[in-house]
């Protein structure tokens, strides 16, 4: 089964880094986020990847240059094959996925190139097959980012850390998709999280795999610093691999 990784966005909220490289190539513990994500899939038996590049894709090509297998932009990494596909600079997430259609089997995986997680990919795939839906999205709790305030009138009666479990579930990426989902994507301008996902949900074709373990997006320099601090304090042991 192939895993697609969305890695073509401009990362405008992370200009400190993305002015020179695409966001998935920002390093955490001296390794790009992209490879941390790929490593997570490898741990669960996935060995074929398609990186859906766009913005500053040449940086990704150069990073893997020494592992190049052929002129089709295929590279070797830890006995796995990575294909880097140029999906355009302005293409939206749905359009990027659809541009890979000729390389896909009936079922494939997709995730974002900027999220760190210890999700069990094998269990996710089993869940998808068991529920027999066209698509499965991983549901996660939003990370606690701000201090919480409990107010009584104009007075703060309680101050503490934001409790993420009170915030419901959000889209955490790590999708499993049937190839029929591509029929919901009309072209490059389609954002996967909008009409395709909404239509799948409204027609009862979208399942949610609830992941209660670690998940954290890296959208800003502050979030990068938080993750690096956790690595330094040995809280994310799998990122040391």
User: What digits encode the pLDDT tens for the residues 65-110?
Assistant: 998 899 899 999 988 999 999 999 999 999 999 999 999 999 999 9
DSSP, collapsed to helix, strand or coil, labels residue 223 as helix
Q: What is the pLDDT of residue 149?
A: 58
Task: For residue 195, give Cα distances in angstroms to 53, 93, 131, 168.
Answer: 22, 12, 22, 22
Q: What is the pLDDT of residue 65?
A: 92
175 strand-pairing partners: 110
In which band, very low, low, confident or very high, does the pLDDT at 32 lie, cut at 50, 70 and 90? very high
Share the mean pLDDT of the chain: 88
> In sequence order, which ranges of the chain are alpha helices (DSSP H)?
15-18, 33-43, 57-63, 93-98, 121-131, 195-202, 221-232
Quick one: DSSP state of residue 156?
E
Q: Are 133 and 206 in contact (CB under 8 A)?
A: yes
Task: For residue 6, give Cα distances in angstroms to 61, 98, 103, 168.
Answer: 15, 12, 15, 25
List, in order, residues 6 or more apart from 59 with CB less than 8 Å away: 20, 21, 22, 25
Q: Is the model's pLDDT at 128 over the cut of 70?
A: yes
């Amino acid at each position: 089964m192939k895993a697609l990784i969305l890695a073509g966005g401009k990362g405008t909220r992370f200009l400190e880094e993305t002015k020179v490289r695409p966001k998935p190539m920002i390093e955490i513990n001296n390794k790009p986020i992209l490879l941390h994500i790929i490593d997570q899939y490898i741990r669960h038996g996935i060995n074929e990847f398609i990186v859906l590049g766009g913005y500053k894709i040449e940086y990704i090509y150069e990073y893997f240059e020494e592992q190049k297998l052929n002129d089709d932009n295929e590279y070797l990494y830890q006995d796995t094959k990575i294909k880097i596909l140029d999906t355009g600079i302005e293409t939206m997430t749905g359009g990027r996925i659809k541009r890979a259609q000729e390389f896909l089997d009936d079922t494939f995986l997709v995730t974002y190139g900027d999220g760190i997680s210890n999700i069990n990919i094998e269990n996710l795939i089993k869940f998808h097959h068991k529920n027999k839906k066209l698509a499965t999205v991983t549901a996660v709790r939003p990370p606690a980012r701000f201090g919480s305030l409990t107010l009584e009138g104009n007075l703060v009666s309680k101050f503490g850390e934001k409790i993420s479990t009170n915030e419901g579930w959000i889209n955490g990426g790590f999708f499993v998709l049937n190839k029929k989902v591509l029929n919901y994507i009309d072209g490059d301008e389609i954002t996967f999280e909008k009409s395709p996902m909404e239509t799948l949900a409204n027609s009862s074709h979208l399942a949610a795999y609830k992941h209660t373990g670690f998940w954290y997006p890296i959208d800003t320099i502050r979030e990068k610093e938080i993750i690096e601090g956790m690595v330094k304090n040995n809280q994310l042991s799998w990122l040391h691999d």
